[in-house]
């Protein structure tokens, strides 16, 4: 199975780029390289790329867009407690899995975009 740069090429074919978990820091000595999304996590997002094309509010579409919102997102849970209500739970790679308000805002904005969320859905992150 593809890995590293080969996987990046496959991802590019699906308009899905590898996420940055921690940006590079050139001000340190020696410079600290960026921490990038693992091959396993990236492979999962590539597989979900077609789900992301749907604006029908599928679980897979919300998972794809939520995971793609920010490199700090480790996982997304999608539930619908009642019709047209969607609850999103975010697992962070930082802070022992607890998502910060900043991260929740990024995911909330990504999932409430006009080209992502169906008109009738009310999304809570």
Residue range 59-84: mean pLDDT, rounded: 92
Q: What is the pLDDT of residues 20-40, one digit of tens each?
A: 999 999 999 999 999 999 999
pLDDT confidence of 55, banded at 50, 70, 90?
low
Q: How far is CA 106 from CA 11, 29, 32, 39, 99, in A?
A: 22, 31, 25, 23, 11
What stretch(es) of the chain map to CATH 3.30.300?
55-125
Q: What is the pLDDT of residues 72-103, one digit of tens each?
A: 999 999 999 888 889 999 999 999 999 999 99
- Range 55-125: architecture per CATH: 2-Layer Sandwich (3.30)
Contact 11, 30 (CB under 8 A): no
Model-level pTM? 0.81
């Amino acid at each position: 199975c593809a890995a590293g740069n080969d996987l990046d090429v496959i991802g590019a074919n699906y308009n899905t780029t590898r996420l940055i978990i921690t940006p590079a820091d050139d001000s340190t000595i020696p410079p600290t390289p960026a921490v990038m999304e693992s091959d396993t996590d990236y492979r999962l997002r590539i597989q979900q790329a077609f789900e992301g094309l749907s604006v029908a509010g599928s679980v897979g579409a919300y998972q794809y867009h939520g995971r793609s919102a920010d490199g700090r997102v480790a996982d997304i849970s999608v539930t619908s407690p009642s019709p047209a209500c969607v609850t999103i739970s975010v697992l962070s790679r930082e802070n022992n899995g607890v998502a910060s308000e900043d991260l929740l805002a990024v995911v909330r904005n990504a999932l409430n975009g006009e080209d992502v969320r169906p008109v009738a859905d009310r999304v809570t992150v």
